[in-house]
Amino acid sequence: MEQITFDDFQKIDIRCGTVINASEFPDARKPAIKLEVDFGEEIGIKKSSAQITDHYLPADLIGTKIMAVVNFPPRQIGPFMSEVLVLGFPDAESRIVLAAPLGNVPNGERLA
Protein backbone atom coordinates (compact mmCIF):
# COMPACT_ATOMS: atom_id res chain seq x y z
CA MET A 1 0.00 0.00 0.00
CA GLU A 2 1.37 3.36 -1.01
CA GLN A 3 1.48 5.93 1.76
CA ILE A 4 0.39 9.52 1.27
CA THR A 5 0.86 12.57 3.42
CA PHE A 6 -1.89 14.36 5.30
CA ASP A 7 -1.46 17.23 2.83
CA ASP A 8 -2.20 14.77 0.02
CA PHE A 9 -5.37 13.65 1.79
CA GLN A 10 -6.53 17.24 2.27
CA LYS A 11 -6.46 17.76 -1.50
CA ILE A 12 -9.31 15.24 -1.90
CA ASP A 13 -12.64 17.04 -1.53
CA ILE A 14 -15.23 14.49 -0.34
CA ARG A 15 -18.72 15.92 0.15
CA CYS A 16 -22.14 14.74 1.23
CA GLY A 17 -24.98 15.01 -1.25
CA THR A 18 -28.53 13.82 -1.86
CA VAL A 19 -29.56 11.89 -4.98
CA ILE A 20 -32.31 13.90 -6.67
CA ASN A 21 -32.57 11.91 -9.89
CA ALA A 22 -31.48 8.44 -10.98
CA SER A 23 -31.96 6.54 -14.22
CA GLU A 24 -30.72 3.45 -16.00
CA PHE A 25 -27.63 3.89 -18.18
CA PRO A 26 -28.04 1.38 -21.01
CA ASP A 27 -25.14 2.91 -23.03
CA ALA A 28 -22.56 2.07 -20.35
CA ARG A 29 -20.16 -0.82 -21.04
CA LYS A 30 -20.86 -2.25 -17.57
CA PRO A 31 -24.30 -1.99 -15.91
CA ALA A 32 -24.59 1.45 -14.29
CA ILE A 33 -26.99 4.07 -13.02
CA LYS A 34 -26.84 7.75 -13.94
CA LEU A 35 -27.21 9.99 -10.88
CA GLU A 36 -27.89 13.66 -10.29
CA VAL A 37 -26.72 14.67 -6.82
CA ASP A 38 -27.46 17.89 -4.94
CA PHE A 39 -24.34 19.09 -3.09
CA GLY A 40 -25.87 22.31 -1.77
CA GLU A 41 -25.45 25.94 -2.79
CA GLU A 42 -21.65 26.08 -3.06
CA ILE A 43 -21.25 23.11 -5.44
CA GLY A 44 -24.74 22.68 -6.84
CA ILE A 45 -26.13 19.67 -8.69
CA LYS A 46 -23.60 17.32 -10.27
CA LYS A 47 -23.94 14.22 -12.45
CA SER A 48 -22.26 10.85 -12.01
CA SER A 49 -22.40 7.32 -13.32
CA ALA A 50 -22.11 4.51 -10.76
CA GLN A 51 -21.82 0.75 -11.23
CA ILE A 52 -24.25 0.00 -8.40
CA THR A 53 -26.97 -1.97 -10.19
CA ASP A 54 -26.45 -5.12 -8.11
CA HIS A 55 -27.81 -3.51 -4.95
CA TYR A 56 -29.86 -0.53 -6.13
CA LEU A 57 -32.73 0.39 -8.43
CA PRO A 58 -32.82 3.96 -9.77
CA ALA A 59 -36.17 4.80 -8.17
CA ASP A 60 -34.99 3.60 -4.75
CA LEU A 61 -31.99 5.97 -4.79
CA ILE A 62 -33.99 9.21 -4.85
CA GLY A 63 -33.46 11.00 -1.53
CA THR A 64 -30.46 8.85 -0.57
CA LYS A 65 -27.47 10.58 1.05
CA ILE A 66 -24.16 9.64 -0.58
CA MET A 67 -20.51 10.65 -0.45
CA ALA A 68 -18.50 11.69 -3.51
CA VAL A 69 -15.19 13.19 -4.55
CA VAL A 70 -16.14 16.52 -6.11
CA ASN A 71 -12.76 17.86 -7.24
CA PHE A 72 -11.72 15.31 -9.87
CA PRO A 73 -11.91 16.53 -13.46
CA PRO A 74 -15.06 15.48 -15.36
CA ARG A 75 -14.80 12.11 -17.12
CA GLN A 76 -16.52 11.07 -20.34
CA ILE A 77 -18.33 7.74 -19.97
CA GLY A 78 -19.80 6.89 -23.36
CA PRO A 79 -22.24 9.68 -24.22
CA PHE A 80 -22.38 10.84 -20.57
CA MET A 81 -20.11 13.31 -18.74
CA SER A 82 -19.54 12.24 -15.12
CA GLU A 83 -18.70 15.23 -12.91
CA VAL A 84 -18.09 13.57 -9.52
CA LEU A 85 -16.90 10.18 -8.25
CA VAL A 86 -19.52 8.51 -6.07
CA LEU A 87 -17.86 6.43 -3.35
CA GLY A 88 -18.64 2.86 -2.33
CA PHE A 89 -17.15 -0.37 -1.06
CA PRO A 90 -17.24 -3.85 -2.61
CA ASP A 91 -19.17 -6.46 -0.65
CA ALA A 92 -18.07 -10.11 -0.34
CA GLU A 93 -19.10 -10.70 -4.00
CA SER A 94 -17.40 -7.48 -5.24
CA ARG A 95 -20.74 -5.71 -5.74
CA ILE A 96 -20.58 -2.02 -4.82
CA VAL A 97 -22.35 -0.72 -1.72
CA LEU A 98 -22.61 3.07 -1.52
CA ALA A 99 -20.65 4.97 1.13
CA ALA A 100 -23.04 7.20 3.03
CA PRO A 101 -22.94 9.35 6.18
CA LEU A 102 -24.86 8.27 9.25
CA GLY A 103 -27.16 10.90 10.68
CA ASN A 104 -28.48 14.14 9.24
CA VAL A 105 -25.57 15.70 7.32
CA PRO A 106 -26.39 18.77 5.20
CA ASN A 107 -25.74 18.65 1.46
CA GLY A 108 -22.31 19.99 0.61
CA GLU A 109 -20.64 19.25 3.96
CA ARG A 110 -17.03 18.21 3.56
CA LEU A 111 -15.61 15.04 5.07
CA ALA A 112 -13.73 16.10 8.19
Query: Is the predicted pLDDT of residue 25 greater than 90, yes or no?
Result: yes
Amino acid present at 91: D
Residue 78's pLDDT is what?
A: 86
Amino acid present at 89: F
Query: Is the predicted pLDDT of residue 28 greater than 90, yes or no?
Result: no
Exposure string (b/e) for 21-54, b if CB count within 10 Å is 16 or more? ebeebeebeeebbbbbbbbeeebeebbbbbbbbe
Name the percent of the chain lying above pLDDT 70: 100
CATH number of 14-98, picked from 1.20.1250.20, 3.40.50.410, 1.10.287.130, 2.40.50.140: 2.40.50.140
Domain ranges of the chain: 14-98
pTM for the model: 0.94
Question: pLDDT tens-digit profile of 40-94?
Answer: 999 999 999 999 999 999 999 999 999 999 999 999 998 999 999 999 999 999 9
